[in-house]
Amino acid sequence: MKKINTIIVDDEESAINTLRGMINNYFPQIEVVAVANNVDDALQKAAAHQPSLVFLDVEMPPFGSGFDFLEKCPNRNFGVIFVTAYPKYAIKAINDAQPWGYLVKPYSVNELTLAIEKAEEKIKELNEVNSLINEEHSLVLPDARKGNVVIRTKDIVYCEADGTTTDIFYQKEGKMLRFTASRTLKDVEEQLPIRTFCRSHHSYLVNLAFVDRYERTGRNGIIHFKDGSKAPISVGKMEDFEDRFLQFSGG
């Protein structure tokens, strides 16, 4: 069984050790891939490990709160179980973050079990939705404000890497829209049909169906899309792009 990649975020080392000990003793399906003591550290660990689940403390003075962490992850693709000593934050957590669980310290193994069971159900539901819609050649991307956003792959013009996130540019109702996904360009590429999408650059993945023309600029190149937007072709990708484009266009 595939384990659930998990991060623990808490400013108290004792709280981290307690939770990690419970997980190790009772929940073999959970794998703690990283721990963090403050917001900045949590952001770095989440970007590096791409967890499915985060156990999140609320108050972490003087370096911010769990809510600050979530605000800086607007397109997060993980669920949250709050773990805090303060029950007063429950309503705000439910309204703002829609967590999968809310544990008040000290909590029991039974309480932790219920929270993890709910998280497993949520992860299973999301995986089933992903599988179903991917069969129809679409991407399902989590959005903190809108829930799951579905983008049909045939509408994607190109994708641009931005560190650990990817900007997806796609057409909808005659307009070019952008969605920032909390995934690397490689992760996005693996979910798109190889016949249609081609890397033109280390940071760009293009839909060959939207390419109007391309031109060489020395050893590099520029792709012109049908809507007027552009993307670069790097020296190292030029030969592969030309071959792929000719093959796709039947040339």
Length of the chain: 251
pLDDT of residue 40: 93
Q: Per-residue confidence at 133, pLDDT binned at 50, 70, 90?
A: very low
The residue ranking higher by pLDDT, 230 or 63, is 230
From edge to edge, which strands make up the β-sheet containing 4-9?
30-36, 4-9, 53-56, 79-84, 101-104
Distances (CA, A) of 174 to 150, 153, 178: 17, 16, 13
Strands 4-9 and 53-56: parallel
Tell me the pLDDT tens digit for each residue of 162-208.
888 999 999 988 899 999 988 899 989 988 888 889 999 999 999 99
User: What is the average per-residue pLDDT within 127-142?
Assistant: 65
- Which of 8-12, 145-149, 231-235 is least confident? 145-149
In the prediction, which pLDDT does 48 show?
84
Architecture per CATH, domain 4-133, reads as 3-Layer(aba) Sandwich (3.40)
Q: Which residue has the higher pLDDT, 99 or 248?
A: 99
Percent of the chain past pLDDT 70, that is, above it, reads 92
Residue 216's DSSP bridge partners are 221
Could you give the CA distance from residue 251 to residue 248 in angstroms, rounded to a whole number?
Answer: 8
Confidence at residue 250, expressed as pLDDT on a 0 to 100 scale: 57
Domain boundaries, the chain: 4-133, 138-249
State the pLDDT confidence band at 4, using cuts at 50, 70 and 90: very high
Banded model confidence at residue 251, pLDDT cuts 50, 70, 90? very low
In terms of CATH architecture, what is 138-249?
A: Beta Barrel (2.40)
**Which tens digit of pLDDT belongs to each residue from 141-167?**
877 666 778 898 889 999 999 888 999
Cα diameter, the chain: 68
DSSP annotation string for the chain: ---EEEEEE-S-HHHHHHHHHHHHHH-TTEEEEEEESSHHHHHHHHHHH--SEEEE-SB-TTS-BHHHHHHT-TT--SEEEEEES-GGGHHHHHHHH--SEEEESS--HHHHHHHHHHHHHHHHHHHHHHHHHHHTTEEEEEETTTEEEEEEGGGEEEEEEETTEEEEEEEETTEEEEEEESS-HHHHHHTS-TTTEEEEETTEEEEGGGEEEEEEETTEEEEEETTS-EEEE-TTTHHHHHHHHHHHHT-
pLDDT value at 28 more than 50: yes
Q: Could you report the per-residue pLDDT of 119-129, keeping only the tens digit for each? A: 999 888 777 65
**Mean pLDDT score of the chain:** 88
